[in-house]
């Protein structure tokens, strides 16, 4: 049972390791030689130094898992890989691609007789040890080809992975998953900010977070991670108040507008991330100037 993996970043490399440790033979490629070298000592993982070497090194009906950033990087890799594939092969896109792009890609590949699976992947840097949650979209035949590897990647063979539906369903499910994640993180962050603001009550946020982990209705892995941070760095003095967004939250917000389905918590959590990136600065400056004009209020200089 062998599989090709293209893209050996933090997620791709660890997914290659987990499948190899589960008994699969993994042929791995990355344009970065250092990324390939990092897997040199991993039993069951063989490095390929080109798309041609990867394609020729896989036997039978080939399965290739792509773990690359969505957009130009994925498109470039497909352009290099597709001429080397044949009808009956399966391409699995495990990146955070926009689901409509995945639907279009599946249609295009089907014209060549190549199967496509869009795989939403959650688990992050902890996936190697704990397993990955997999949300799969594609035809039953395409998903069946990837199923043996999904069982190795998931926390257990019989749970943590799902054939969500036709092409696009996997990446759509992951998009909504990330939107929910935005809202949950925002709620936790706001709650602990309120706790920190009442210093007179002397609540230890780390100890409270640890207490909430046991029996509370808000217990979750995100709370576990937050508790781990707050135990050692409750003031967060060395951390800049800037939160990046990967794009999935934007797609989720756009989807709620297109469908007319209200999602105020997710949307506001996304707006808060934009604000943390300095994208509210101009509006705040203008508000300060307007306030000075109508009320003579003082302006705080930059």
> Each residue of 276-296: pLDDT tens digit?
999 999 999 999 999 999 999
Structure confidence at residue 22 as a pLDDT band (50, 70, 90): very high
Considering the four listed CATH numbers 3.30.420.40, 2.40.160.20, 3.40.50.720, 3.40.47.10, the one that applies to the domain covering 2-166 is 3.40.50.720
Average pLDDT, the chain: 96
Mean pLDDT over residues 267-279, rounded? 96
What global pTM score does this model have? 0.93
Structure confidence at residue 160 as a pLDDT band (50, 70, 90): very high
Q: What is the pLDDT of residue 302?
A: 84
Catalytic annotation, pick one of 75, 100, 147, 181: 181
Q: What is the pLDDT of residue 246?
A: 85
Establish whether 174 is a catalytic residue.
yes
DSSP the chain: -EEEEE--SHHHHHHHHHHHHTT-EEEEE-S-HHHHHTTTTSTTEEE-SSHHHHHHHS-SS-EEEE---TTHHHHHHHHHHGGG--TT-EEEE-S---HHHHHHHHHHHHTTT-EEEEEEEE-GGGHHHH--EEEEES-HHHHHHHHHHHHHHSSBTTBSEEEEESTTHHHHHHHHHHHHHHHHHHHHHHHHHHHHH-GGGT--HHHHHHHHTTT-TT--HHHHHHHHHHHH-SS-TTS-S-----SHHHHHHHHHHHHT---HHHHHHHHHHHIIIIITHHHHHHHHHHHHHHH-PPPPP-
**In the chain, where are the structural domains located?**
2-166, 175-277
Mean pLDDT over residues 104-128, rounded? 96
Domain 175-277 in the same topology as domain 2-166: no
**Residues 192-214 pLDDT 10s:** 999 999 999 999 999 999 999 99
Establish whether 231 is a catalytic residue.
no
Considering the four listed CATH numbers 1.10.3720.10, 1.10.1040.10, 3.40.190.290, 1.10.150.130, the one that applies to the domain covering 175-277 is 1.10.1040.10
């Amino acid at each position: 049972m062998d599989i090709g993996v293209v893209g050996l970043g933090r997620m791709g490399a660890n997914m290659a390791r987990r499948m190899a440790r589960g008994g699969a033979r993994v042929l791995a490629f990355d344009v970065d030689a250092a990324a390939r070298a990092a897997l040199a000592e991993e039993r069951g993982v063989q490095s390929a130094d080109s798309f041609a070497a990867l394609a020729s090194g896989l036997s039978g009906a080939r399965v290739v898992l792509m773990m690359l950033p969505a957009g130009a990087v994925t498109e470039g890799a497909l352009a290099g890989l597709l001429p080397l594939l044949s009808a009956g092969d399966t391409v699995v896109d495990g990146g955070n691609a926009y689901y409509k792009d995945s639907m279009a890609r599946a249609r295009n590949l089907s014209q060549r007789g190549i199967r496509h699976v869009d795989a939403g992947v959650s688990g992050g840097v902890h996936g190697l040890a704990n397993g990955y949650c997999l949300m799969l979209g594609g035809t039953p035949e395409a998903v069946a080809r990837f199923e043996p590897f999904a069982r190795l990647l998931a926390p257990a063979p019989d749970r943590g992975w799902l054939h969500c539906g036709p092409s696009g369903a996997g990446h759509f499910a992951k998009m909504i998953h990330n939107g929910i994640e935005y809202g949950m993180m925002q709620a936790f962050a706001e709650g602990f900010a309120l706790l920190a603001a009442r210093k007179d009550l002397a609540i230890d946020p780390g100890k409270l977070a640890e207490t909430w982990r046991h029996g509370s209705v808000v217990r979750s892995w995100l709370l576990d991670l937050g508790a781990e941070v707050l135990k050692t760095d409750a003031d967060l003095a060395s951390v800049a108040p800037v939160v990046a967004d990967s794009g999935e939250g934007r797609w989720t917000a756009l989807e709620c507008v297109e469908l007319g389905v209200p999602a105020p918590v997710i949307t506001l959590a996304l707006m808060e991330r934009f604000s943390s990136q300095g994208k509210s600065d101009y509006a705040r400056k203008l508000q300060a100037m307007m306030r000075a004009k109508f009320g003579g209020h003082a302006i705080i200089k930059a």
